[in-house]
Structure 1
Amino acid sequence: MKNILLSTFFLLVALSTFAQPSQTVRGKIVDKESKFPLVGVTALLVNNATQPVGTVTDMDGNFRLPNIPVGRQTLRFTLVGYKEILLNNIVVEAGRETVLNLEMEESVTELNTVVVKVKRNGEAANEMATVSARQFSVEETGRYAGSRGEPARMASNFAGVQGADDSRNDIVIRGNSPSGVLWRLEGINIPNPNHFAISGTSGGPVGIINNKYLANSDFFTGAFPAEFGNTTSGVFDLKLRNGNDEKHQLSAQFGFLGTEFLAEGPLSKKSKASYLVTGRYANLWLFKKAGIDIGTEATPTYADGFARFNFPLKKGGNVAIWGVGGASTIDILISEQEASDRNIFGQNDRDQYFSTNMAVGGITLNKPLNKSTFFKATVAVSANSQDANHDFLFLRKNAQGDPLIENKRFVIDSLRPLLDYKFTENKYSLATYLNKKWGAKSTLKVGLTADLYSFTAFDQARSFNEATQKWNAWVTRWNTNNASYVLLQPYVQFKHYLTENFSFNAGLSSLYSSINTNSYSLIEPRVGFALELPHRQKLTFATGLHSQGLPSYLYFYDQSGANASTRFPVKNVGFSKSWHFVAGYSKMLADNLRLLVEAYYQNLFDIPVEKTISSYSLVNSGAGFSRLFPNQLQNGGIGRNYGVEMTLEKFFSKGYYFLVTASLFDAQYQGSDKIWRNTDFNGKYAFNALFSKEFTFNKRKSLNIGAKFTATGGRWYGPVDATQSRLAQEIIYADATRNSLQFNPYKRFDLKTEYKINKNRLTHTIAVDIVNVLGNKNQLSLSYIPQAPYFKQEYQLGFLPVFFYRIDF
């Protein structure tokens, strides 16, 4: 008996060891426009034709496919009268259920003449999107080499988009300023979602948004639909996923960017209420001790988190309570560093103490009113702040007047307070819309976005006069307490299919701000057309007028204190505006190979420039860690961006994928001096090539090897005015020759490997993302130094290994 029990035990162990792990794939399918649950949709696993696995959705639109083998799977969803959905890159892991929430689009023609149309991965979810739009998945944010799991860095691989800055994840779209990028979360316009964010920017060194709680989201690069306002460049339209409503799941991860934990599961299995909670804390200090170069000798610290609680309602509706936020701090102490130490995140003549906070939380209601009408509303509160103090370093000098260096350090005579500021912006938001469809041909969407801003700021600074060897008096540049204004954006959109293959959409948007009497754009038309041709070809065209206000802090900048005639130089400046024109052509060259070509022209006008004759324009702002201190501005500048883009994409199949994007463009502007110049971001070209191959072992282990090559033109700058730079203690470029010089082209090669082990209800993942494998020395910027010639060349990050280990169970 004992031998039988032992034999049985070892047999079970052997079976559990060699049996292929499996997991459940389930989800919900709704109508794309009305969000009403679809009954009777066939869900079919198509990888194994000899033993097909399938099911149909129930009365609530839910489907379930149990015991699906781990690995990459292809799923097909069909329903009579609707366009077929083909998902050919669904990752099934043993440690986590795969939950899909899908939307099906109704077919236009009568039942007996329906031609099968396939919606594939990558097509934008927004029904009004015509051109320059792409859906990206959570899996994509982690797949691309060099993306570090961040949506912004991942998007830099798309056509027309430049990253080319290892220190920040700013997004330059078609030569536009990165400050023109709009971030939306659940329909709400949110503050800059990055750690160490500076007012007026949309990027930063590390993102707060974590791909682990995102659902499939859309990214727009031009001529976007009417619902998107207060942006002239591009849009990240982020969606949040719900936690698992049937079983509790945990995830823990340790890596270069932090230690993370995630928990999700049902609050009530009866009501299907669920929770999802995450948290991350930085551990860069550990890697600094290991000698990894992160661009500064200072050690950044940051933490962020997210929570979402979802409560389903009857007939497909739900109420979700959610929140995301992060805090960060860094002390860059030049007084304690060696003279040769790098500080691409700070200045070289002062000690700097800097911290930021960002948080947004809201309540979202999704409610199908009937089979043709859907209502959504989100109310939210957000806040962001920056707090900084600078102490100026008085250096001892040698007989030649240069700073004295002993034991590799500057010799410090004393430190004196130089700068003190704190900005805080609170915002109360409402985003709501009603979607109505008439049959399969027509859809109307009417909505409103409203934001109430409350801004508090204090800033004072002083400078040292080297000629008199005395300090100048403290100057207060911001002193605002709870200043408030309203930003309103109503819109209406309509889409109609003239035939099964030809559709158009038209919309009107409006933007109004109470900040001053000049900040309004009453009518912004948006129009788009799409024509599907034989042999899986498609032609598209879209145009629209877009406008954007200034960052809040600029309106309250007090330039000259007591001089009332020149106070608040930006107070009455109106919106920047831009006309977008985009034409596109796409063709499916094979079942999983797509070619996309787009040409565009942007006419920028009413750009803020100086009233005095100069080369200054706000089109060059929005990148880096510096605030703006403008002179008197007016809406008199213009600009033009035009170019052509190509995308060749092989969707993941047969164990591999690739993506090749190329852009040729030109971005120029005029300041008040009426001279055409290159914008700072006019790189002229951008090229990306990505490839990934997956190897599977024993049906439970997989190795993914990916590579990426990036090449872009360098950013523009000009000769430095050494005298003015010394007096201002920062880089000042000669105005007449602004942007007459260009940094060398940027080139980078990245390599990523990911090894995954699936066991029963458990998944181990080990990944190493090596950024800049070849250690190319790319130029970044010029920075001020307190000695002749008063500037030095700063370089991008070099070889940077980013790795993590994660366990899901």
Structure 2
Amino acid sequence: MTVRLTILSILMGLGVLVPQVVQAQVRYVLSGVVRGVGASEGLPGATVAVPALGIGATTADDGSYALTLPAGRHQVTVSFIGYATQTRELNLTRDQRLSFQLAEAGNTLGEVVIEGSGSLEQKLQTTQMSVDRLTAREAKLLPALFGEVDILKTLQLKPGVQNGGEGTSGLFVRGGSADQNLVLLDDALVYNPSHLFGLFSVFNSDAVQSVDLYKGGFPAQYGGRLSSVVDVKLRPGNPEKFTTSGGIGLISSRLTLEGPIKKGKGAFLVSGRRTYFDVFTRQINRLNNDDPDYNPIPDYYFYDFNAKANYKLGDKDELFLTGYLGNDVFGFNSQNGFNFDFSWGNTVASVRWNHVFNPRLFLNTTASLTKYKYQIANKLDQFGFNLSSDIRDLTLRSDLDYTPNERHALRFGVTATHHRFGTGSLQAGSQDGSVNIGSDVTYYGTEAGLYASDTYKPSDKLQLEYGLRLSGFQSGSDAYGGLEPRAAVRYSLTPNVSLKGSYALMYQYVHLVTNTGASLPTDIWYPSRQSVKPQRSQQVAGGVSWLLGDGRYLLTNEVYYKWAQRQIDFKDGAQLFVNPDLDSEFLFGKGWAYGNELYLEKKQGRTTGWIGYTLSWTKRRFPPQRGTNGINNGNTFYPTYDRRHNLTVVVLHQLNQRINLTGSFVFTSGAATTLPLGRFAFQDVAGAEPSAVPIYPERNTYRLAPYNRLDLGLVYKLKPIRSGGESDLTFSVYNAYNRRNPYFVYFDQIENEDTDEVLGYRARQVSLFPVIPSVTYNFKF
């Protein structure tokens, strides 16, 4: 009897235990989309995790995610920057779709920048390094020039990023030039992302949801540029109710409308912005119209318009439409018959189809149109001319995401772009038709890319991300191509310390034709053809990340080394406009950049912000070639955007429920520049005054004075509007202690007051912006 009971007990024990063991080995896919409350499009970069199992994933560009989990009960936690963390219990007994709607992290201004520790933990655990994410809500709290919030300028406060000059929105990332940044707006390319000659970017903060800046370790789906990727995502419209928001500032006003197309099916968003310099200048010109000695003030304004819509075609299909139109208009009409008109702008449109095959397989297909054009019209009496240049792209791309299990996340894709390069169009003539001159230089090119990548997690401590991109370009009979391997690794030494490394090889097939250090509207894009071969770069980076203070702080330290071939510059006196043989004006060389980036950030509590410090070197060398001595006699030199030291400090503090105080401090080494070493005098005509010719040393051997600036801001939340809306006043002080930072240096003559004899020369510094206070009224209802 005892034996029987013992055997029965064993069998009963096995009968209980075996089903549990078998069940534990069964795994199912949990998938879905993470959205914000009142939004129809997903949140990219959100974290979906099961902390008890140490399993997590980051949402894709469309907000989708997929996790492979053992059957049974789990606690799923979802977090995203600026949103309240959400936790949900589920019993997983089959493949299941589970979507999340995250609420904003409260109604008070201070809370919109609070980020759960899960986000810092995500940065610690992810394989991707050298990437910064910024939301529009964070940028809106920081002080801004003229009160105009600018996403790209905020990115300049991150380590490894230099600006292109005082107040400009240009980015120079890890030693790369301005044309080596891939700027995307909902997957569509933007060529000149700036207004007002670079002082502001084309991205209206009211329409932007988030921006990702990749400085290295580029994922395989990105290609075509050498230095960085700026991936901008527009906000989806509100699918539940109609809302209106905007702002009135010193130089511009904004208005955004959004609401449902059909509840539960789709939504739209339209957003516009316009400056009004011209309103005042035109009035001043009218008041002085009768004064023959009055010099009219030029007209200037810019505007941009964003639109986005999405609609669910069914349970597995969704359609997204994005549009952008922006233009800058500059005009000068004098009383003596001289007219000068200058306009430039971007047009961008894209349509994306998202299809879910099953919880493990997603497809995104995007078709986009990009166009950038500038035009100059000049007229003097009866004679006038028009000069213009443009570039137009038609792109089709498709990306497939496949998650076979919890160890692998695969991604495949293909993209093809047809380019049209209008490198110069000139029309000139007289009104009577006696003089008529015309010239038009146009090229075509086709760019294509094919890639595959895998994120592999062999263990909880080790995670790998590797991929291969095959790219190619053809213009006429000239064809180029190459393999672009990408690799990244993360190893967790402890739960709070991770080591990371990455490698990326990049090709760039289109080039910016400019003879300045910063992008201008008149710059020309030129294809790889004949002697102008694709630029190429390689970058290796390594770093360590520490999670400190119970997860409230993240400290990262990264070192990088980048080397590039076939970098482009121009001969002295090069003819860049309407030149059918432009490739003969190019010179080719090599470049190096290396440095160390130290970054500490805090995203919890009433006081948040970050401190970044970069120590870096950037070098170029163009040897003798094409009948020239090269540049700088073939010797290595520092480009103007080389900075040895770069320190940024950003602090945001919630004083109380209605007041937020913000501040940012920037210090950088002076820009490299070329100044004359001396002058020699010669007299070519008897009796004429002698001429002084400057003697220049090697290129960029001098440094301007260091740049430093303190900006302060205050956001005051007003009492709620009766209709249920909200509003605030944003006060900003740009350059609070009135630092006269150098913009450029020129020399004037020191003369004898009695004899007008030139006694010497004095260097003069030109500074652009003094202390500038501003105020903006923002509203939403």
Which range, TM-score by smaller chain? Answer: 0.7 to 0.9
Alignment of 1:58-73 (within 5 A): 61-63=98-100, 70-71=107-108
Corresponding residue to 1:547 among 482, 497, 507: 507
Moved more, 277-286 or 365-374: 277-286
Contact 2:329 2:342 in 1 (8 A): yes
Distance 1:378 1:733 in 2: 55
The answer to whether residue 598 in structure 2 is matched with residue 643 in structure 1 is no
Distance 2:513 2:134 in 1: 32
Distance 1:690 1:359 in 2: 34
1:230–1:239: structure 2 CA closer, same or farther, 3 Å change rule? same
Distance 1:122 1:290 in 2: 55
Contact 1:72 1:89 in 2 (8 A): no
1:595–1:205: structure 2 CA closer, same or farther, 3 Å change rule? same
Q: Give per-residue Cα distances to partners, 1:403-429, cap 9 Å, x unaligned.
A: xxxxxxxxxxx9997974111222111
Distance 1:629 1:692 in 2: 53
Distance 1:443 1:739 in 2: 47
Residue matched to 2:473: 513
Q: Which amino acid aligns with 2:449?
A: Q
Residue matched to 2:210: 216
Q: Which amino acid aligns with 1:639?
A: G
Alignment of 1:31-42 (within 5 A): 32=59, 35=64
Corresponding residue to 1:235 among 215, 223, 229: 229
The answer to whether residue 690 in structure 2 is matched with residue 744 in structure 1 is no
Residue matched to 1:681: 641
Distance 2:168 2:651 in 1: 24
Measured after TM superposition, the shift of residue 138 of structure 1 is: 1.8
Residue matched to 2:328: 328
The answer to whether residue 732 in structure 2 is matched with residue 769 in structure 1 is yes
Aligned residues: 652
The answer to whether residue 773 in structure 2 is matched with residue 801 in structure 1 is yes
1:513–1:786: structure 2 CA closer, same or farther, 3 Å change rule? farther
Secondary structure, in 3 states, of the residue corresponding to 2:152? helix
Q: Give per-residue Cα distances to partners, 1:680-731, cap 9 Å, x unaligned.
A: 211111110111111224xxxx1111111101122222136999xxxxxxxx
Q: Which amino acid aligns with 1:133?
A: V
Contact 1:163 1:169 in 2 (8 A): yes
Measured after TM superposition, the shift of residue 273 of structure 1 is: 1.1
Contact 1:569 1:633 in 2 (8 A): no
Distance 2:486 2:477 in 1: 25
Corresponding residue to 2:387 among 417, 421, 424: 421
Contact 1:605 1:638 in 2 (8 A): yes
Distance 1:68 1:155 in 2: 23
Secondary structure, in 3 states, of the residue corresponding to 1:383? strand
Secondary structure, in 3 states, of the residue corresponding to 2:675? coil
Corresponding residue to 1:715 among 640, 654, 671: 671
Residue matched to 1:339: none
Corresponding residue to 1:363 among 351, 358, 371: 351
Contact 2:38 2:240 in 1 (8 A): no
Distance 2:335 2:769 in 1: 23
Measured after TM superposition, the shift of residue 454 of structure 1 is: 2.0
Distance 1:716 1:212 in 2: 36
Alignment of 1:247-266 (within 5 A): 247-266=241-260
Residue matched to 1:573: 532
1:797–1:549: structure 2 CA closer, same or farther, 3 Å change rule? farther
Secondary structure, in 3 states, of the residue corresponding to 1:778? coil
- Structure 2 gaps of 5+ residues are 1-35, 49-56, 68-72, 285-295, 429-434, 515-525, 625-633, 681-692, 751-757
Distance 1:327 1:432 in 2: 30
Corresponding residue to 2:612 among 661, 674, 687: 661
Distance 1:691 1:45 in 2: 23
Q: Which amino acid aligns with 1:278?
A: S
Q: Which amino acid aligns with 2:397?
A: A
Distance 1:501 1:589 in 2: 19
Residue matched to 2:133: 135
Q: Which amino acid aligns with 1:642?
A: Y
Measured after TM superposition, the shift of residue 475 of structure 1 is: 9.4
Measured after TM superposition, the shift of residue 550 of structure 1 is: 3.2
Secondary structure, in 3 states, of the residue corresponding to 1:750? strand
1:489–1:781: structure 2 CA closer, same or farther, 3 Å change rule? farther
Q: Which amino acid aligns with 1:709?
A: F
Residue matched to 1:182: 182
1:656–1:237: structure 2 CA closer, same or farther, 3 Å change rule? same
1:425–1:630: structure 2 CA closer, same or farther, 3 Å change rule? closer
The answer to whether residue 637 in structure 2 is matched with residue 600 in structure 1 is no
Secondary structure, in 3 states, of the residue corresponding to 1:514? strand
Residue matched to 1:778: 741
Distance 1:68 1:805 in 2: 22
Measured after TM superposition, the shift of residue 581 of structure 1 is: 0.7
The answer to whether residue 278 in structure 2 is matched with residue 319 in structure 1 is no
Distance 2:265 2:527 in 1: 54
1:69–1:436: structure 2 CA closer, same or farther, 3 Å change rule? closer
Q: Give per-residue Cα distances to partners, 1:7-29, cap 9 Å, x unaligned.
A: xxxxxxxxxxxxxxxx9788868
Distance 2:257 2:471 in 1: 40
Contact 1:539 1:585 in 2 (8 A): yes
Distance 2:214 2:579 in 1: 27
TM-score (norm 2): 0.74
Secondary structure, in 3 states, of the residue corresponding to 1:141? helix
Contact 2:257 2:269 in 1 (8 A): yes
TM-score (norm 1): 0.71
Distance 2:712 2:360 in 1: 48
1:273–1:35: structure 2 CA closer, same or farther, 3 Å change rule? same
Residue matched to 1:439: 405
Contact 1:328 1:357 in 2 (8 A): yes
Q: Which amino acid aligns with 1:180?
A: Q
Contact 2:424 2:578 in 1 (8 A): no
Alignment of 1:13-24 (within 5 A): none
Calculate percent identity across the aligned residue pairs. Answer: 18
Contact 1:569 1:631 in 2 (8 A): no
Contact 2:182 2:228 in 1 (8 A): yes
Contact 1:331 1:354 in 2 (8 A): yes
Q: Which amino acid aligns with 1:225?
A: P
Structure possessing the higher radius of gyration over alpha carbons:
2
1:316–1:690: structure 2 CA closer, same or farther, 3 Å change rule? farther
Q: Which amino acid aligns with 2:165?
A: D
Distance 1:432 1:672 in 2: 42
Residue matched to 1:281: 274
1:602–1:259: structure 2 CA closer, same or farther, 3 Å change rule? same
Distance 2:158 2:242 in 1: 36
Distance 2:527 2:534 in 1: 16
Distance 1:319 1:807 in 2: 30
- Structure 1 gaps of 5+ residues are 1-22, 47-51, 76-86, 91-116, 198-203, 337-349, 392-413, 463-472, 555-566, 724-731
Measured after TM superposition, the shift of residue 474 of structure 1 is: 11
1:630–1:496: structure 2 CA closer, same or farther, 3 Å change rule? same
Secondary structure, in 3 states, of the residue corresponding to 1:212? coil
Distance 1:334 1:118 in 2: 61
